[in-house]
Amino acid sequence: MEQILRPIYQERASQESTLGVVLVEKREKVSPSTDTFDTILLIITKENETAVFTKHYTYDEKKAAMHIITEKQLQKWLLLGTNRKIVDWLFNGRIIYDRNEFMEKLITELKEYPFAGRKIKMGLEYAKLIRRYLEGKVLFEEKNYLDAYRHVIESLHHLARLSVLENGLPPEVTVWSQVKQIEPSIYKLYEELVLSDESIDKRLELLFLASEFLIHSRTADGAQHIMEVMAKKKSWTIQELHEQEELKNYSSDLEVFIEYLVDKEMVFTEGVMTKSERIFHRYYYVKAAK
């Protein structure tokens, strides 16, 4: 298989901007992890005209996909966790070209998980968790149980990924297999929500009661990254927070997260006078560590 595809990746490997090539072969008869393709060629480049460039091929009644991805796009996916199959490809693929050990170092770094990167990922997962949980709770109180169920399922997924990150591991595609070993209490919540014979409203009611502690006990760890960033300045407008380079990754979850931390008295507000007597600008700050 590699010999057949060699002319394709060798052409790319000869280019100076190519950092590495990974060959991924499907492991199951039907393989969603490889988008049902028999083979994936993942090519990482320093730069390219487009961040993601894809081509499909056929050979011997089989099909292959080539994905050329810039290093910047790869790092964004790894940070935000928005393309989980990439981690699967890096971990289960075979390096067939590696410029200056770029791929080896990248995979080793992923496995060892530097703590600074983990803090950002934990913050992003916690912000998503809070949004989904709060939205689910409102829908539950409005008796929109099926919509509430969907949001709660998503919040549990974020809680599961957060739990894996806390243990210094990258969340994989099979995150619930990881959580079953690492934190059975979260797995049990998920199992009860999905498999219980109780009515959907009863299941949701029990889950909100049981998950409250699991979520709130993680606030300090989940907020660590955003608190450290905010400590760099005396105070911030919401626009300054949106424009701060690291906090851009929180995207639409940033404001609900900030307000949640205000409610928990971890972030504080101050009013700054506007031109109108009764209206104040709302500034945000964190207290300096003692």
User: Any idea what the CATH number is for the domain that residue 31 is in?
Assistant: 3.30.460.10
Between strands 268-273 and 280-285, the pairing is antiparallel
Let me know if residue 284 belongs to a domain: no
pLDDT at residue 14 in the model = 87
Would the pLDDT of 281 be above 80? yes
Let me know if residue 290 belongs to a domain: no
Give the total number of structural domains in the chain. 2
Categorize the per-residue pLDDT at 10 as very low, low, confident or very high, splitting at 50, 70 and 90: confident
pLDDT at residue 45 in the model = 95
83 with 151, same domain?
no
130 with 229, same domain?
yes
pLDDT at residue 99 in the model = 94
CA 207 to centroid of chain Cα atoms: 23
Let me know if residue 277 belongs to a domain: no
Kindly report, residue by residue over 207-219, the tens digit of the pLDDT. Answer: 999 999 999 999 9
What's the CA gap between 250 and 33, in Å, rounded?
Answer: 26
pLDDT at residue 1 in the model = 65
E strands present in the chain: 18-25, 39-45, 52-59, 62-70, 94-98, 268-273, 280-285
Domain that includes residue 123, residue range: 115-271
pLDDT at residue 117 in the model = 78
pLDDT at residue 60 in the model = 86
Average pLDDT, the chain: 90
CB 9 within 8 A of CB 21: yes
261 with 207, same domain?
yes
Task: Give the tokens for residue 20.
Answer: 């590495």
107 with 197, same domain?
no
230 with 130, same domain?
yes
133 with 242, same domain?
yes
87 with 172, same domain?
no
Let me know if residue 103 belongs to a domain: yes
Kindly report, residue by residue over 50-90, the tens digit of the pLDDT. Answer: 999 999 999 888 899 999 999 999 988 888 777 888 988 99
What's the CA gap between 89 and 223, in Å, rounded?
Answer: 30
30 with 81, same domain?
yes
Q: What is the CATH number of the domain that holds 227?
A: 1.20.120.330
Non-local CB neighbours of 65 within 8 Å, separated by 6+ positions: 34, 35, 37, 39, 40, 41, 54, 55, 56, 57
Categorize the per-residue pLDDT at 152 as very low, low, confident or very high, splitting at 50, 70 and 90: very high
pLDDT at residue 28 in the model = 78
pLDDT at residue 115 in the model = 58
Would the pLDDT of 116 be above 60? no
pLDDT at residue 283 in the model = 96
What's the CA gap between 147 and 140, in Å, rounded?
Answer: 8
106 with 125, same domain?
no
Let me know if residue 174 belongs to a domain: yes
Mean pLDDT of 225-232: 95
Let me know if residue 280 belongs to a domain: no
Let me know if residue 276 belongs to a domain: no
pTM exceeds 0.75 for this model: yes
62 with 134, same domain?
no
220 with 135, same domain?
yes
108 with 21, same domain?
yes
Percent of the chain past pLDDT 90, that is, above it, reads: 68
pLDDT at residue 113 in the model = 65
Higher pLDDT, 112 or 14: 14
Closest Cα partner for 79 from 114, 54, 49?
Answer: 114
Let me know if residue 42 belongs to a domain: yes
pLDDT at residue 87 in the model = 85
Q: Is 150 exposed, middle or buried (0-12, 13-18, 19+ CB in 10 A)?
A: middle
- Tell which of 83, 112, 141 closes a domain: 112
